[in-house]
Amino acid sequence: MNPQIMLMLLRLALVVVPWILKRLDQPSKAREAEDNLKSAMRDHQEKQGEGSIQNREAHKKIEDDLKDKAKEKWK
């Protein structure tokens, strides 16, 4: 084969192959992003969080204890 044609084909391949790679990678990246989001949502669903309203009961007990102790100490 003519070396000039070979060189032209090689140059063409250098352009075409990265383009194909990029195109092929797009669906997998989209799928990965979707998976990441689903996992994050699942994590968030599992995590009760510290903002729980149940903290109020513990806080109320501390306040009651403080009042009792203060009354006892400085009666």
Partner 1 sequence: MLRMILLIVALAAGCTTAALPSVLPFDAVTQTSSSFSHPRRSLPWSYGGVSYVGVDILHRQSRMSIDFQIPPDTVLFTLQSCSRDITVVRPKAGAFRWDYTPFLFLESQDPCYVEATAYLSNGGQVSGMFDVSNTFQLGATLYCNGDRTKPSGGAWCQVRAGRLLWLSFAEEVVEAHAEGCPAPTPSRQLGHTFEIASAAGRCEYGFRSRSGENFRLTVWGWDSILDLGRLK
| Residue 3 makes contact with partner 1 by CB under 8 A | no
Q: Give the contact letters, 5-44, x = binds to partner 1 (CB under 8 A), - = no.
A: x---x--xx--xx--xx--x---x--xxx-xxx-xxx-xx
Rounded CA separation 56/39 (Å): 31
- DSSP-H helix ranges across 1-75: 3-46, 55-73
CA angle 67, 53, 50 (to 5 degrees): 105
Q: Count of residues binding partner 1 (CB under 8 A)? A: 42
Q: What is the dihedral sign for C-alpha 45, 46, 51, 54?
A: positive
Residues of this chain that bind partner 1 (CB under 8 A): 5, 9, 12-13, 16-17, 20-21, 24, 28, 31-33, 35-37, 39-41, 43-44, 46-47, 49-53, 55-56, 58-59, 61-63, 65-67, 69-70, 73-74
